[in-house]
Structure 1
Amino acid sequence: MTRQFLILDKTDNVGVALADLPAGSILSGSGLAESVRLKQDIPAGHKFALSAIGPAQPIRKYGVCIGLSTEAIEAGRHVHVQNIESMRGRGDRS
C-alpha cells in the first residue's frame, strides 16, 4: 500500500498529502495518534490539520512554527494560505 500522507515531526499539527486525497477519506497510521477524516479535498503536497487548531495558534511543520492560524481549523481541513499567516520575514513577530 502506498503512503498517502507524511508527518514530518512528532510535534507537527499538520500532515502533508503525498497524493490527491478526497474529502471523506479516513487516514490512520504513519504516526497519527488518532485517525483523521478529511473534511475537504487535499491536493498532493498540501497540508491538512491533524487535530483541531484554534485561532492564532501555531501551525507546526518540520517540528517548527511555520505560521499562525487566522481562524479555527477543524481536524481534516485544508491548511493553506486561506487560514495561515506566515511568520517568515516579519519584523514585528518572531
Structure 2
Amino acid sequence: MDERRAWSDKRAEIMGRPDAGAAYEAARIRFELGAAVRRRREGLGLTQAELAERAGLKQPAVARFEAGGTMPTIPMLERLAEALEVRLSVRFEPLREAS
C-alpha cells in the first residue's frame, strides 16, 4: 500500500522530470490567457454564450478556454480580441535572469 506524501514532496518529484518546466509554463500561459478573457468578458457584461456567438465559437469552447484547458492559436486569439473589443498584442519580453 502506498504511504501518503506531502504535496511539496510530490510537486518536487513532478517538477524534477525533464519536461516538467515546459509543461508548467504552457499551463501557466493557458491559465493567464483564459483569466484575461474571462475578466474582459465579465467587464463587458457578456455571458460565455454571448462571447461565443460574437467570436463564432460554441459556449463550451469559451468555457474550456477560460479555464485554461486549451492553448489557442493566434487566429483564435484574434477572433476573441475582436469579439471582446480589444486589440491583440503579442510581444517578446526578455527572460528574467535567475539570481
**TM class by smaller structure:** under 0.3
Instruction: Determine which structure has more spread, i.e. the larger CA radius of gyration.
Output: 2
**TM-score (norm. length: structure 2):** 0.22
Structure with greater strand percent:
1
**TM-score (norm. length: structure 1):** 0.23
